[in-house]
């Protein structure tokens, strides 16, 4: 498999977009925030020029935040590779905005996934009505264009595609329902799996949106672009997921006792930095440990930190056995708790996680204890030296969270 250069990328995108008529269309383009590896300046330049050449009358580029913090102009400028304030002045047909998931006025109800349908889609794990609310921009534009990467993902199996709608620009109902469904299935079981119950729910929710949808799904690493697929969100995503399974999965012959997951600085809070755990958990032996190494990380979660500090990090069965204590809290936050803590059991009041999770970050020992995670002073660890030692029981992962590690 070879990387795609700018000339090839432009040809793929222009040829793919030619499958649809964009003339006179107001296009809503959904993109990732800064916590996803993607050369967005390349895509922003190529896609906005291609849409303009194809006759699009207006383009709104919306950051599909899910529940991540909003990006200010400086962060948006860095993401897109240009000064967004100047862009708005120079190119009045272009707008760059954040999704506002917590603003009820920004959302519109496009339908409901009934309890019967949820029961069918989830394999019986969920039987609640789920109101499908999404950013009302989907109804004020003529076409939706999803433009984002596809990676192995802890909640849905592989990210991308219609996930840029749900949870990307959705309201809390679908976010909580899908994340909790993923937690019931466990990240351990579904990460790196293409066809999951969570994906089925997301696709069903997307089908309720009346606006035509199209997608540019890409497979990228820090080295470059390995695949870009332009088609319906379902078909482009399926092709990208198959490509990602080749590019983003690294195989080990035997489990290890300890992983040192060295986080890149784009993961600036544990909410997103926990990918270092999700993507290495499958190769850790029972009783082993994942150490999340990130001296730059000082925050659990800007948006959800209060609730996480209230409940801590626990295995799924801890919550299920005491559901009356936690049922009033957002299921999406509880789901995150279980994903980071990993699989395990809770019997007779005793919680037994399969592995240990330890933070070597800017988060204090006291806070780690409070949220039920281990602590080690990052200054006592030297990932480069540990990697050089070539201990077969220790795996040091640079830029952890980018690749999924699995056992053959």
Same domain, 168 and 260: no
Same domain, 291 and 214: no
Same domain, 178 and 326: no
Reported pTM: 0.93
Same domain, 149 and 228: yes
pLDDT per position in the chain (408 positions), as tens? 789 999 999 999 999 999 999 999 999 999 999 888 899 999 999 999 999 999 999 999 999 998 888 999 999 999 999 999 999 999 999 999 999 888 899 999 999 999 999 999 999 999 999 999 999 999 999 999 999 999 999 999 999 999 999 999 999 999 999 999 999 999 999 999 999 999 999 999 999 999 999 999 999 998 999 999 999 999 999 999 999 999 999 999 999 999 999 999 999 999 999 999 999 999 999 999 999 999 999 999 998 999 999 999 999 999 999 999 999 999 999 999 999 999 999 999 999 999 999 999 999 999 999 999 999 999 999 999 999 999 999 999 999 999 999 999
- Which of 247, 262, 294 represents a domain boundary (last residue)? 247
Same domain, 127 and 27: yes
**pLDDT at res. 37:** 87
Inter-residue contact 153 to 336 (CB < 8 Å): no
Phi, psi of 299 (to 5 degrees): -125, 135
Question: Which residues lie closer than 8 Å to 323 by C-beta, 6 or more apart?
Answer: none
In a domain, 174, yes or no: yes
**pLDDT at res. 171:** 92
Same domain, 214 and 257: no
173: Cα separation from own chain's centroid: 17
Same domain, 185 and 150: yes
Inter-residue contact 345 to 352 (CB < 8 Å): yes
353 vs 318: CA distance, rounded Å: 10
Question: Which residues lie closer than 8 Å to 332 by C-beta, 6 or more apart?
Answer: 67, 167, 172, 175, 176, 179, 180
Q: How many domains does the chain have?
A: 2
Same domain, 112 and 23: yes
Same domain, 231 and 257: no
Token digits of residue 114 = 């009934």
In a domain, 20, yes or no: yes
| Diameter over CA atoms, the chain | 65
In a domain, 1, yes or no: no
**pLDDT at res. 35:** 82
**pLDDT at res. 34:** 83
In a domain, 363, yes or no: yes
- Helix 172-185 to helix 331-341 angle (10° resolution) is 30
**pLDDT at res. 101:** 81
In a domain, 161, yes or no: yes
Q: 10 Å Cβ neighbour count for 162?
A: 26
378 vs 381: CA distance, rounded Å: 5
Same domain, 189 and 285: no
Domain that holds residue 168: 6-247
**pLDDT at res. 2:** 80
CATH of the domain at 12: 3.40.50.11440
In a domain, 188, yes or no: yes
CATH of the domain at 333: 3.90.226.30
- Which of 247, 281, 312 represents a domain boundary (last residue)? 247
**pLDDT at res. 145:** 98
In a domain, 19, yes or no: yes
Same domain, 38 and 80: yes
**pLDDT at res. 68:** 83
- Which of 223, 247, 271 represents a domain boundary (last residue)? 247
In a domain, 177, yes or no: yes
Of 33, 82, 32, 92, the closest CA to residue 59 belongs to 92
Question: Which residues lie closer than 8 Å to 53 by C-beta, 6 or more apart?
Answer: none
Same domain, 122 and 97: yes
**pLDDT at res. 102:** 80
């Amino acid at each position: 498999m070879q990387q795609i250069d700018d000339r090839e990328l432009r040809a793929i995108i222009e040829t793919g977009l030619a499958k649809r008529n964009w003339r006179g269309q107001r296009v809503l383009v959904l993109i990732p925030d800064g916590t996803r590896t993607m050369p967005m300046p390349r895509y922003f330049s190529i896609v906005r020029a291609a849409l303009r050449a194809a006759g699009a009358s207006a383009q709104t580029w919306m950051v599909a935040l899910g529940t991540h913090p909003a990006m200010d102009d400086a962060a948006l400028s860095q993401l897109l590779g240009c000064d967004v304030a100047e862009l708005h002045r120079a190119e009045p047909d272009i707008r760059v905005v954040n999704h506002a998931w917590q603003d009820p006025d920004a959302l519109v109800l496009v339908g409901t996934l009934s309890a019967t349908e949820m029961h069918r889609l989830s394999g019986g794990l969920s039987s609640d009505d789920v109101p499908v609310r999404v950013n009302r921009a989907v109804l004020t534009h003529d076409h939706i264009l999803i433009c984002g990467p596809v990676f192995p993902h802890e909640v849905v199996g592989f990210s991308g595609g219609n996930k840029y709608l749900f949870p990307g620009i959705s309201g809390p109902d679908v976010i909580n329902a899908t994340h909790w469904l993923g937690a019931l299935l466990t990240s351990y079981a579904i990460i790196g799996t293409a066809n999951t119950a969570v994906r089925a729910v997301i696709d069903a929710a997307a089908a309720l949106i009346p606006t035509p949808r199209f997608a540019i799904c890409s497979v990228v690493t820090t080295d470059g672009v390995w695949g870009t697929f332009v088609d319906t969100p379902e078909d482009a995503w399926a092709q990208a997921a198959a490509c990602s399974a080749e590019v983003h999965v690294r195989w080990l012959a035997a489990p290890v006792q300890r992983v040192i997951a060295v986080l890149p600085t784009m993961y600036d809070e544990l909410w997103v930095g926990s990918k270092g755990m999700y993507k290495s958990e499958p190769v850790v032996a029972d009783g082993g440990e994942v150490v999340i190494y990130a001296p730059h990380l000082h925050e659990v979660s800007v948006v959800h930190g209060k609730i996480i500090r209230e409940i801590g990090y626990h295995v799924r069965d801890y919550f299920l056995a005491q559901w009356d204590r936690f049922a009033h809290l957002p299921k999406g936050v509880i789901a995150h708790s279980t994903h980071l803590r990993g699989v395990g059991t809770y019997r007779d009041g005793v919680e037994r996680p399969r592995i240990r999770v330890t933070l070597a970050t800017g988060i204090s020992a006291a806070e780690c204890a409070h949220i039920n995670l281990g602590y080690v002073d990052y200054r006592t660890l030297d990932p480069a030296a540990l990697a050089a030692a070539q201990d077969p029981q220790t795996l040091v992962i640079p830029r952890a969270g980018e690749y999924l590690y699995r056992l053959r």
